[in-house]
Amino acid sequence: MKSFFENDAVELTPDGKELIILDQTLLPNQEKYITITTAEQLFYAITLLKVRGSHAIGISAALGLAMCMNRFETSDLRVFESEFLRVKRYLAISRPSAVDLFTDLNRMESCFYEQMSCAEDGAGAIALIKERLTAEARNIKLEKIRTCLAIAEYGFSLLKPGVTIMTYCNAGHLAVSRYGTALSPIFLAQENGYMPKVYACETRPLLQGARLTAYELGKAGVDVTLICDNMASIVMSRKKVDIIFVGADTVAANGDVINKVGTSGLAILAQHYGVPFYVLCPSQTIDKDRPTGYDVKIEERPGYEVTEMYYEKPSAPIGTKVYNPAFDVTPNALITGIITENGISK
């Protein structure tokens, strides 16, 4: 499947010393790639949503950790180890709900100690560890891209020509680095001449559906219609939706899904109107250490995102209290199926 973008959303330069990301906070009005050279820059890029989506965050953290170590100079292996652990632990707290962040950083740590166990002290050993860390981070990204292609095929198998799909938030190219999860079957359907139609929910308060999903689908030539989140019910009630595709930040062991706040409400509407509701994500997103979705900490974000961001003037009286959870839990009972690179399951 071809990409409709000139560059991936997250790239490590050939020398491994700079991380290049597409600043998603500026979309759709400006496509600007920013250069990251420190752990602190990457931390704030993640917390400020310049890079977002559990999978893209995991890729960024892995590549960023390798980048930081490539830039760190010492001939003392223990000093190098101490810096590796400092950066890894620092990046791990940047977005606590993104399971890929922890999985990919832990994989980088395993790689580090595998190499360190057979290394001799000195600059030569450190150079070899740097090389291996960089290769491992690049492999993490490539594996996620291949995973997205497999997810695309399974999702595409559910579609027919002329299908109408509803989606929420953004789980495409930008949320992974290439192709995406929930949007990848749509891209594949477009390539195969199915001429899919898509209703993209705007996704308040940060408007990922409006700013990012409509942007991506438009670049791919897909017929996309933007709706406010509170319009999903009337669209479904008028029999205009055949299937719903959403992504996931985390899937609990029992199949509950943690995703952008509003996902659970969409699932409730889908069940009421009899619309199949599918979650698309890599199997790595399934966290077997979390028994249910309610065992995952839900991040709460600043109130200004609701009252001021994207407004010229505040949309509510100054001092109004705001509750702004970033995610919610969709019980597995509301989900028709979970699509991973391994197939479709309940």
- Classify residue 156 by its DSSP letter: H
Confidence of residue 332 (pLDDT cuts 50, 70, 90): very high
Could you tell me what percent of the chain has a pLDDT over 70?
Answer: 98
Q: Which of 244, 237, 38, 62 lies closest to 137, judged by CA? A: 62
Q: Which of 233, 235, 237, 263 lies closest to 248, judged by CA? A: 263
Segment among 117-121, 144-148, 211-215, 301-305 with least mean pLDDT: 117-121
Spatial strand order of the sheet with 277-280 comes to 223-227, 197-201, 164-167, 243-246, 277-280, 337-340, 343-345
Q: Does the CA dihedral 301-299-68-9 come out positive or negative?
A: negative
Q: Is the bond preceding 205 in cis, omega lying within 30 degrees of 0?
A: yes
Residue 248 sits at the vertex; the CA angle it makes with 64 and 160, to the nearest 5 degrees, is 120
The per-residue pLDDT for 97 is 73
The per-residue pLDDT for 114 is 93
Residue 23 has pLDDT above 80, yes or no: yes
β-strand 250-252 against 257-260: which pairing, if any?
A: antiparallel
Residue span(s) of the chain under CATH 1.20.120.420 come to: 10-150
| 122 token code pair | 């000195």
Question: pLDDT (tens digit, 9 = 90+) per residue, 39-64?
Answer: 999 999 999 999 998 889 999 999 99
**81, 72 in Cβ contact below 8 A?**
no
Residue 142 has pLDDT above 70, yes or no: yes
Instruction: List, in sequence order, every residue forming a beta bridge with 259; answer none if it has no partner.
Output: 328
β-strand 164-167 against 327-330: which pairing, if any?
A: unpaired
Contacts of 341 (CB under 8 A, 6+ apart): 146, 147, 150, 151, 154, 282, 283
First-residue to last-residue Cα distance in the chain: 27
| 62 token code pair | 């892995």
Question: pLDDT (tens digit, 9 = 90+) per residue, 209-246?
Answer: 999 999 999 999 999 999 999 999 999 999 989 999 99
Q: How far apart are CA 39 and CA 19, in angstroms?
A: 10
Q: How far apart are CA 250 and CA 308, in angstroms?
A: 29
Question: pLDDT (tens digit, 9 = 90+) per residue, 58-87?
Answer: 999 999 999 999 999 999 999 999 999 999
Residue 5 has pLDDT above 80, yes or no: no
Active site residues: 249
Residue 249 has pLDDT above 80, yes or no: yes
Q: How many other CB atoms are there within 10 angstroms of residue 253's CB atom?
A: 14
- Tell me how far CA of residue 277 lies from CA of 49, 57, 165, 188, 215, in angstroms: 27, 25, 10, 19, 23
What integer best gives the mean pLDDT of the chain? Answer: 95
Residue span(s) of the chain under CATH 3.40.50.10470 come to: 152-345
Residue 99 has pLDDT above 70, yes or no: yes
The per-residue pLDDT for 4 is 64
What architecture is domain 10-150? Up-down Bundle (1.20)
The per-residue pLDDT for 263 is 99
The per-residue pLDDT for 3 is 65
Confidence of residue 2 (pLDDT cuts 50, 70, 90): low
Question: pLDDT (tens digit, 9 = 90+) per residue, 116-134?
Answer: 887 776 768 999 999 999 9
Q: How far apart are CA 336 and CA 329, in angstroms?
A: 15
CATH topology of domain 152-345: Rossmann fold (3.40.50)
